[in-house]
Structure 1
């Protein structure tokens, strides 16, 4: 029996329940992992609330990220051995698999090796954040040395990873935060500039920082009507990449009558994680950054698995800077 977090209805953190569940043996192409740490993501909160891009089927597990050790190997899995330390990348639907538990079965295609000397809590804070940042900033080739990159909601784990990724490719990261309380922490995290959107005019500050040029790329998890404001700070021919939907209101498409010509697109890390060759490149890039010290995952706070509902409440309060991790 394994202890697995499940829920039976859409709702708040109180719907999450830690249960004893018979998980069976790993099937073809699957692994069983003894979980040591779980990385929490905003996607899991939205999934629990029914606001994600697919709906749960009940009883539903959840979770995209974890670090642990291989316990059992299913048929046709040749790239891992029992006892291997591993990390889990988001490469599956939560209707099929989940990481919230002490022992879980996952597809081997969503599992990557991790150095044994990497703390599990740190390893659980890596893949969602850094692969999400890697796609638009590196894989697409849109960001070049010296380019300005605008990173909104920058105190999230993805935002901090994007700051570090921009620095690693030689770009200049401009971070945004709503309140001044996080400004210094973002500067300490490597942001070249921080714009406090509650107090400052965003397009005007972007133009001031960039000498009137605007940013090469705006990397935004919020969406909604605010993209029109972001578009005013993007250089002609630049890119607006929306990778989330924290604002549930409709997102307008910036048009040529109001803004300089720009390229706008959506992005999810599944574009990388479900493509073996692109995932291989992403893992190599991130591991190289970890090895060199240019990537330093930030863990804001840890919770015990038994306190999973409280961990979700903490995430919903939006006070964290970096990753929330659950230890097992």
Structure 2
């Protein structure tokens, strides 16, 4: 959300329920859609009438086709996770009709390339210095509570990062 705001994008957060809606709005999301409580496609089409241009998805699974259905012609979806235990269907006709780009992303493509890593560091450091980027810490655990930290992370209750101190 902070990165989207810092580059002038309109951040739309999609979450399963409205439990984190106020936190997402407070964090700078322009819109929040609760996918288990609202019609995701209808709501995104209402917000982005021309379609969503860029989608960042960490979940995959059945929501994948619903997300591509809301995308604009020439849009790009970056998949950076696979949190859903269900298969992720390939939306062939949406991809063809809208000439979508579907791309996998792993952080190693940046950390393994010195020039890209330096550019990423500069972007983050500049954003921190300008106040556009501010770390959001959900909770901090000492290393000897790593199991508790992992259980908290798995609960999905956190908003922000879980930090383990050594």
Mark yes or no: TM-score above 0.5: yes
SS at match of 2:86: coil
**Is residue 25 of structure 2 the alignment partner of residue 174 of structure 1?**
no
**1:249 to partner: Cα distance:** 2.7
> 1-side partners of 2:51 and 2:21: how far apart?
21
Q: Which residue of 2 aligns with 1:231?
A: 68
> 1-side partners of 2:35 and 2:64: how far apart?
13
The match for 1:243 among 57, 66, 80 is 80
Cα-to-partner distance string for 1:303-327 (whole Å, 9 max, x where unaligned):
1111111111111111000001112
Q: How does 1:124-203 map to 2 (within 5 A)?
A: 163-203=1-41
* Matched residue count: 165
**1:266 to partner: Cα distance:** 0.7
Task: Describe the shift of the 1:326–1:214 C-alpha distance in structure 2 as closer, same or farther (beyond 3 A).
Answer: same
**Is residue 149 of structure 2 the alignment partner of residue 311 of structure 1?**
yes
**1:169 to partner: Cα distance:** 0.7
**Structure that is richer in helix per residue:** 2
**Is residue 136 of structure 2 the alignment partner of residue 302 of structure 1?**
no
SS at match of 1:172: coil
Q: How does 1:32-111 map to 2 (within 5 A)?
A: none
**1:204 to partner: Cα distance:** 0.7
> 1-side partners of 2:117 and 2:165: how far apart?
26
SS at match of 1:228: helix
Cα-to-partner distance string for 1:58-82 (whole Å, 9 max, x where unaligned):
xxxxxxxxxxxxxxxxxxxxxxxxx
Q: Which residue of 1 aligns with 2:110?
A: 272
SS at match of 1:224: coil
> 2-side partners of 1:214 and 1:278: how far apart?
30
List alignment gaps of at least 5 residues for structure 2: none
Higher mean alpha-carbon deviation, 242-251 vs 171-180, is at 242-251
**1:203 to partner: Cα distance:** 1.1
> 1-side partners of 2:44 and 2:10: how far apart?
12
Q: Which residue of 1 aligns with 2:160?
A: 322
Q: Which residue of 1 aligns with 2:91?
A: 254
Cα-to-partner distance string for 1:231-278 (whole Å, 9 max, x where unaligned):
011101101111001013332222126853311111111110100010
Q: TM-score, normalised by structure 1?
A: 0.49
SS at match of 1:295: coil
Q: Which residue of 1 aligns with 2:46?
A: 208
Q: TM-score, normalised by structure 2?
A: 0.95
Cα-to-partner distance string for 1:157-198 (whole Å, 9 max, x where unaligned):
xxxxxx111111111000011111100000000000000111
User: RMSD in angstroms over aligned alpha carbons?
Assistant: 1.3
Q: Which residue of 1 aligns with 2:125?
A: 287
SS at match of 1:256: helix
> 2-side partners of 1:257 and 1:268: how far apart?
24
